[in-house]
Each structure stands twice: as structure tokens, then as C-alpha cells.
């Protein structure tokens, strides 16, 4: 095994950047594969071996691998969320959740409409802050890969868009709760039973989904580029 | 290689078994280990290896770890608890299949034959 020269490293980086990959995970893995393979051969065999690698890691293959990884990462996050959801709700926690929700309903019925509207904004602000925090953390990790591989295109973690999109979808659904009655011109909708039931159901769904998504991110952040 | 189709069906088992014997491995290392163990008779293609690794990771059978090696970043794979359980089940499934295949190829063998 030998170390590649700077010139050889540049050739590898160029070859990989022509593939126009955007997934930091795939780029990192292919780059490591190329270097590990080429280090096993003498300098005189470098060109031949690089060509051999290029025949295996074609543009089409790399993009198919990237697409499959994106799909697999979505599945992985969902599986993690589901596992967390199943293990979270033990009997004491279920009791705690029911007590919390009862107090929430009582609290909700005692406050004014304006306060209700303001309370609904709190989760949106938290999610927005969380999104920004996740994005910055991932950006810092991916920046290092971008520097090593010398990628010309913008690259990001395959997990990142999936997580941020899910958080955004939940945020949008919460917004809809306020926007739809406004559009339909429902009078005093903040005091209506429909709104109370809908906001309560959405609150449970929103909290459960966001918490498991956050936990899934926390677990994956130890080993992935997010 | 002519045995590529035969390997395809048992690739996941090969990966899981190798990871059971080695604490953690990276993609290229897996291809080299298989080549070494089979004296070059079986070559795992990169085209099949990485999708299989990513699938096992998504199913929660493998966990990953990123490490800085020289001037690059390397992704290591290792078995999760579910992965460890899966190795045993996959191995007995494969062994059963090989035994049955052996019986078909050599019908003279007694039913109690074990590899």
C-alpha cells in the first residue's frame, strides 16, 4: 500500500466531480473506495486502475446509487421513528401524556382567543429554530466532505432534506388550521368546537411526530452527516 | 463472472457474516476480504455491494460510524443487535438451502446428510 501523490489525488477528485453527485454520503463513500483501491497498486498502474474504477462507477450507476440511498434514508428515518414511537409509550408515559392532555384541554378552555392564536405560534417558532440548528450542524459536517472531494456542485446530506421537509410539512399543516377557516370565512373559529377538536388532534399528532423525528435525528446525528 | 447470479441471492448473508466476525468494516474492505477468503473465486461487485449495505442500514440491521482516515472520511459498518440476530437466521437459511441443493445435485445422498 502506498500514498497517492497530489497529482493523482487531483485526478481522482476530477473524475468524481464529473459525476455531479449531490449526496455527501455517496460522494464520501465513492471517494474512499477509489483511494483505498488505488493505494493498493503501484504508480505505473494508476491510470489503468482509475479507468477500471471509472468503468464500474459510471455516471448512471452513481446516480442510481444516490437515488436508492435517498429512498433508503427515508425508510430508515421512518423505521427509527416508528421504533421510537412504539418504545416511548410505556404505561407510566401513557398516563403522563393523558394527564398532560387533560390539563392542556382545561387550560385551552380558560384562555382568550388571542392567546390561543399566540400559543399556536410557539411550536412553529420552535420548529423553525430546530430546522435552522439541524441545517447548520449538517452544513458544518458536509463542508468538510466538500473540501476533501473538491466538489463543484452544492452537496448535502441525503438525510437532511428528508428531515427538514418532514418538519416543514408538519409546520404547514399547523398553518392550514388557521388559514382554512380564514379562507372559508368561518366566524369566531378560534372558539368553535371544530377548531378545538382539530387543533387538539393536530397537537397530539404534531407533538408525537415531531418528538420522534427529533429523536431519530438525534440518533442519526452520531453516525451520519446530519 | 459466471457465478454472479448465485452470489446475488446470498450477498446480504455474506455481508452480515463478515461483519459478525469483524467488529466493523468499510465497503472496499468487504470486497477485499471476500476476494481473500475465496482466493479470488468470488468477487463482490461494487454495483451490488453498496446498494446491499444501504438496504441493510435502512432496515436497521447495520449501524454506521464515520471516521477521519488520512485525509478523507470513511464510513464503517457494524452489526446492530437486530443484525446479530439476523446473522443466525440467515446462516441457517442458507445452510438449509445448500443442503437441499446438494440433495438435488446428488440424489444418492441420504436424507440425513449434513454439510
Options 2.60.120.380, 1.10.10.10, 3.90.1720.10, 1.10.1740.10; CATH for B4-105 is 1.10.10.10
Facing residue for B51 by CB, picked from A31, A56, A65: A65
Residues of A with a Cβ under 8 Å from any B Cβ are 3, 25, 28-29, 31-33, 35-37, 56-57, 61, 65, 68-69, 72-73, 75-76, 79-80, 83, 144-145, 148, 223-225
> Which residue in this structure is represented by grid cell 438496504?
B55
Supply the pLDDT for residue A214: 86
Do residues B68 and B57 make contact, with C-beta atoms less than 8 angstroms apart?
A: no
User: pLDDT higher for A185 or A8?
Assistant: A8
Is A179 a member of any domain? yes
Q: SS3 letters for A106-152? A: HHHHHCCHHHHHHHHHHHHHHHHHHHHHHHHHHHHHHHHHHHHHCCC
Per-residue confidence band for B69, with pLDDT thresholds at 50, 70 and 90: very high
Report the candidate in B24, B20, B15, B21 with the shortest Cα–Cα distance to residue B69: B24
Total domains in chain A come to 1
Contacts B59 to A, Cβ<8 Å: 75-76, 79
Is A225 a member of any domain? no
Contact state of B46 with A148 under an 8 Å Cβ cutoff: no
The pLDDT tens digits for A156-190 are: 999 998 888 887 777 777 677 767 777 777 777 76
User: pLDDT higher for B75 or B110?
Assistant: B75
Supply the pLDDT for residue A174: 67
Contacts B69 to A, Cβ<8 Å: 32
> Which residue in this structure is represented by grid cell 483501491?
A37
- Interface probe for A, chosen from B33, B61, B72 (most Cβ of A below 10 Å), is B72
Supply the pLDDT for residue A118: 81
* pLDDT above 70: percentage of residues in chain A: 97
Going by the DSSP 8-state scheme, the letter that residue A3 receives in this structure is P
Name the packing angle between helices A113-149 and A158-183 (round to 10°): 160
Facing residue for A76 by CB, picked from B27, B47, B58: B58
Supply the pLDDT for residue A16: 95
User: Cβ neighbours of residue A193 under 8 Å, at least 6 residues apart?
Assistant: none
Supply the pLDDT for residue A88: 77
Q: Where are the domains of chain B?
A: 4-105
Is A95 a member of any domain? yes
ipTM: 0.87
User: Cβ neighbours of residue B50 under 8 Å, at least 6 residues apart?
Assistant: A29, A65, B27
Please state the rounded mean pLDDT for residues A1-16: 94
Is A30 a member of any domain? yes
Please state the rounded mean pLDDT for residues A111-138: 84
The pLDDT tens digits for B48-64 are: 999 999 999 999 999 99
Supply the pLDDT for residue A46: 97
The pLDDT tens digits for B20-43 are: 999 999 999 999 999 999 999 998
* pLDDT above 70: percentage of residues in chain B: 92
User: pLDDT higher for A181 or A142?
Assistant: A142
Is A200 a member of any domain? yes
Is A226 a member of any domain? no
Per-residue confidence band for B87, with pLDDT thresholds at 50, 70 and 90: very high
Contact state of A72 with B66 under an 8 Å Cβ cutoff: no
Report the candidate in B16, B19, B21, B51 with the shortest Cα–Cα distance to residue A70: B51
Please state the rounded mean pLDDT for residues B74-103: 94
The pLDDT tens digits for A19-77 are: 999 999 999 999 999 999 999 999 999 999 999 999 999 999 999 999 999 999 999 99
Q: Decide if pLDDT at B2 tops 80.
A: no
| Domain ranges, residue A94 | 6-220
Q: For the ranges A121-125, A213-217, B15-19, which has the lowest average pLDDT?
A: A121-125
Do residues A158 and A26 make contact, with C-beta atoms less than 8 angstroms apart?
A: yes
Is A1 a member of any domain? no
Q: Decide if pLDDT at B111 tops 70.
A: no
* pLDDT above 90: percentage of residues in chain B: 70
Contact state of A65 with B29 under an 8 Å Cβ cutoff: no
Supply the pLDDT for residue A226: 80
Per-residue confidence band for B90, with pLDDT thresholds at 50, 70 and 90: very high
Supply the pLDDT for residue B114: 58
Amino acid at each position: 500500500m502506498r500514498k497517492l501523490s497530489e497529482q493523482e489525488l487531483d485526478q481522482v477528485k476530477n473524475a468524481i466531480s464529473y459525476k455531479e453527485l449531490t449526496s455527501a454520503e455517496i460522494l464520501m463513500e465513492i471517494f474512499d473506495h477509489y483511494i483505498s483501491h488505488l493505494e493498493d497498486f503501484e504508480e505505473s498502474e494508476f491510470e489503468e486502475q482509475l479507468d477500471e474504477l471509472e468503468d464500474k462507477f459510471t455516471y448512471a450507476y452513481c446516480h442510481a446509487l444516490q437515488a436508492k440511498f435517498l429512498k433508503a434514508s427515508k425508510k430508515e428515518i421512518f423505521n427509527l421513528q416508528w421504533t421510537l414511537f412504539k418504545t416511548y409509550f410505556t404505561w407510566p408515559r401513557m398516563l403522563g401524556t393523558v394527564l398532560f392532555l387533560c390539563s392542556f384541554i382545561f387550560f385551552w378552555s380558560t384562555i382568550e382567543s388571542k392567546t390561543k392564536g399566540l400559543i399556536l405560534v410557539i411550536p412553529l417558532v420552535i420548529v423553525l429554530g430546530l430546522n435552522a440548528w439541524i441545517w447548520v450542524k449538517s452544513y458544518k459536517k458536509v463542508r468538510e466532505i466538500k473540501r476533501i472531494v473538491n466538489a463543484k456542485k452544492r452537496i448535502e446530506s441525503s438525510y437532511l432534506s428528508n428531515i427538514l421537509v418532514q418538519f416543514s410539512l408538519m409546520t404547514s399543516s399547523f398553518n392550514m388550521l388557521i388559514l382554512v377557516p380564514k379562507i372559508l370565512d368561518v366566524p369566531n373559529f378560534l372558539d368553535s368546537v371544530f377548531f378545538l377538536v382539530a387543533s387538539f388532534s393536530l397537537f397530539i399528532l404534531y407533538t408525537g411526530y415531531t418528538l420522534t423525528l427529533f429523536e431519530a435525528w438525534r440518533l442519526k446525528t452520531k453516525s451520519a452527516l446530519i | 463472472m459466471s457465478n454472479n447470479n448465485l452470489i446475488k441471492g446470498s450477498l446480504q448473508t455474506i455481508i452480515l457474516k463478515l461483519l459478525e466476525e469483524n467488529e466493523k468494516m468499510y465497503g472496499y474492505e468487504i470486497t477485499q476480504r471476500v476476494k481473500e477468503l475465496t482466493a479470488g473465486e468470488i468477487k463482490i461487485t461494487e454495483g451490488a455491494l453498496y446498494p446491499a449495505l444501504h438496504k441493510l442500514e435502512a432496515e436497521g440491521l447495520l449501524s454506521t460510524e464515520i471516521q477521519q482516515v488520512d485525509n478523507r472520511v470513511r464510513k464503517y459498518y457494524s452489526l446492530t443487535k437486530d443484525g446479530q440476530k439476523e446473522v443466525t437466521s440467515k446462516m441457517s437459511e442458507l445452510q438449509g438451502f445448500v443442503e437441499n441443493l446438494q440433495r438435488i445435485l446428488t440424489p444418492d445422498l441420504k436424507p440425513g446428510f449434513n454439510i
